[in-house]
Amino acid sequence: MELTKKNEKENRIGDFRFLPVTVLPVLTQINKKELAGLIYDTDPYIYPAMFGSRENALRILPLLFDSGDSMFAYDNIFVAEKEGHILGMVLWYFGRLYWSCKTVLDVAGRLGVVLDERILRLTETGYVSDYASVAKEGVLNIINVCVAKDQRGKGTGRQMLQEFLCWQRNRPAELCVLKDNHVAVGLYESFGFTIISEYNGFTIDGSAVRAAAMRLQGGV
């Protein structure tokens, strides 16, 4: 698949390139599945509930990227790429995000994959709808950050986040993180993110999972 090449400049550090995915001249089916896997692996609660299984996510998400979905869109993805493979990604959105699960259901239907519509509706109204609030106006919302398992602990995620924030011209940013993900919390704090609130994270089964909203004032 050919993507229109934009004017954003990639940043090469060692064997890695850090860049918006839209800058890649070609995005292969393998790359799309790599992105899908990274997104699925970022949250042990939301994405397994939405897609039912990792196998389903690897089938559905690549088509969502091409479908015009407002959240799972090429324009919302920044990547760490090495030797033609995508080994890290940031899924983001600037301002208020209006998302409907309808596109997910439509794509799943075309593939013959049966998803739980009730769970998808709950995800839309109980979780993603928070990104549509007035408070998100003018804010860089970091939805997911993930690196491949064999890249963890090697500094890839830190470098990718640094390059992403610089590419975004150090806009004020917000993200949510599970409180027990101490590695992620420590990483974000090292960039200047601070916890602005704590709450019970969204889970389909109502289990108690503590999460934190973090904010970066800008100027990294």
Q: What is the pLDDT of residues 88-116, one digit of tens each?
A: 999 999 999 999 999 999 999 999 999 99
Identify the CATH number of the domain defined by range 11-216: 3.40.630.30
Ordered by start, the domain boundaries in the chain are 11-216
pTM higher than the cut 0.95: no
Q: Are 93 and 176 in contact (CB under 8 A)?
A: no
Q: What was the pLDDT predicted at 57?
A: 98
* Statement: residue 144 has pLDDT above 80: yes
Please choose, from the candidates 185, 22, 8, the residue with its C-alpha nearest in 3D space to the C-alpha of residue 89.
22
- Over 50: is that where the pLDDT of 67 sits? yes
Q: What is the mean pLDDT of residues 125-148?
A: 89
Return d(Cα 167, Cα 181) in angstroms, integer: 26
Q: Note the pLDDT of residue 174.
A: 96
Q: Are 88 and 38 in contact (CB under 8 A)?
A: yes
- pLDDT for residue 2 is more than 70: no
pLDDT given at position 176: 93
Chain-centre distance for alpha carbon 173: 14
Average pLDDT, the chain: 90
